[in-house]
Amino acid sequence: MSTLPLEGIRVVELSHMVMGPACGMVLADLGAEVIKVEPPKGDGTRHLPGAGAGFFRIFNRNKKSVAVDLGTTAGQEAILALVDSADVFIENFKPGRMAGFGLDYDTLHARNPALIYVSHKGFLKGPYEHRLALDEVVQMMGGLAYMTGPAGQPLRAGSSVNDIMGGMFGAIGVLAALHERNRTGRGKAIQSALFENCVLLCAQHMQQYAVTGQAPAPMPSRISAWSIYDVFRFAGDEQMFVAATGDGQWAALCRVLGQEALLDDPSLATNTARVAQRPRLLAHLAEIFATLDAQALAVQLERNGIPFAAIRKPEELFDDPHLQASGGLATLQLDDGSHTEVPLLPLSFDGERFGPRLALARVGEHTVEVMRGLGYDDTRIEGLQTAGIFSAANEPDAV
């Protein structure tokens, strides 16, 4: 792609973990120059164990790294100079933390009225706004954990869905504010929040209750809207999800399975009728599926337009034939010089995808480059490095 949609937009990001970095990642992939400000020792997210081990590398691609001690006057002055040159400022620290550094919206807006300031918090303004929140916290209080787990066993979703979507909504707010700024010349204060994001995820269930008057059951024990919409076990103990959501798909499935007799059963003539017979119908189909090879059946299901899906584990996606063939995975050079495959933004522009342009930045890799661009001479930069206020690695390598 010769030009990128957000070329020429400078973003300063003071964030960690997932929500703020996800916002910066979207903007960076779309072509913005995103400058991540880290402490001299680096963002602690770089070294998380276990379930957090992949956070930094996936949500911080295509970014530059400037390492500055914000606990010092000189460090704060450096970031203020950087913000003066910026179009967008991203933060996701607890309420009041940015004010302590002199980097709150009012202060930065007074210096740079065109600045778009996007905060990622646990809650929007209201009684909960001063609470600390995590993805798991809002999944519990926002209905998602209740809907995900079996009855009486609330269960968080298997990904940081609110953090990631919260970052996406922050990016959407930035794009809208940039468009408005073209008319007004002024920036905006944008806030995205985990709790409100989770409530939106559960809005369909809220309206289910409003429509039916009945409390929605957790997904494992829900009354399905479709008769065939379940995970089945096949020969060799392989599992696959199969669905038939309309009469055409139902008829096609019966023919694929050699069960044309079911099409003559008046008690199964419509989807509503089949839902009423669902336990009996699923038990019958389960017996059939248990004798079949899942991979062979998948070919026939695809040929006949019947929805299906193998049950995949995350590590298996590296070898997914569609992702491999379509360019949905791309190589990212990591900060230690090694490489990994990462999924790209799930969109294309004129058929082209947005891939990695920079190696994952080492801590402070771009400190010298960026500060020189702000008018800091080498003597001043070296003095701040010696004092431990700046940290600088080598210059970046292009991917």
- Is 43 noted as a catalytic residue in this protein? no
Q: Any residues with CB less than 8 A from the CB of 99 and at least 6 apart, and which?
A: 107
Domains of the chain and CATH, by start: 10-201+321-391 (3.40.50.10540), 224-314 (3.30.1540.10)
Q: Evaluate whether 89 touches 12 at the Cβ level (below 8 Å).
A: yes
* pLDDT tens sequence across 140-186: 999 999 999 999 999 999 999 999 999 999 999 999 999 999 999 99
Task: Supply the pLDDT for residue 397.
Answer: 42
* pLDDT tens sequence across 293-320: 999 999 999 999 999 999 999 999 999 9
C-alpha distance from residue 218 to each of 3, 144, 152, 205, 279 (Å):
46, 9, 9, 10, 18
Per-residue confidence band for 393, with pLDDT thresholds at 50, 70 and 90:
confident
* pLDDT tens sequence across 235-260: 999 999 999 999 999 999 999 999 99
Pairing label, strands 239-244, 228-233: antiparallel
> Catalytic: which of 29, 43, 69, 163?
163
Task: Supply the pLDDT for residue 2.
Answer: 75
Does the pTM surpass 0.75? The reply is: yes
* pLDDT tens sequence across 100-138: 999 999 999 999 999 999 999 999 999 999 999 999 999
Task: Supply the pLDDT for residue 394.
Answer: 56
* pLDDT tens sequence across 204-238: 999 999 999 999 999 888 878 889 999 999 999 99
* pLDDT tens sequence across 342-368: 999 999 999 999 999 999 999 999 999
SS3 content of the chain, % helix, strand, coil (to 5): 45, 15, 40
Q: At what angle do helices 203-212 and 194-201 cross, to 10 degrees?
A: 50
Question: 277 in helix, strand or coil?
Answer: coil
What percent of the chain clears pLDDT 70, i.e. is strictly above it?
98
Task: Supply the pLDDT for residue 224.
Answer: 82
Which residues face 202 on adjacent strands? none
Q: Evaluate whether 212 touches 222 at the Cβ level (below 8 Å).
A: no
DSSP character string of 306-346: --EEE---GGGGGG-HHHHHHT-EEEEE-TTS-EEEEEPPS
Region 30-56 average pLDDT: 96
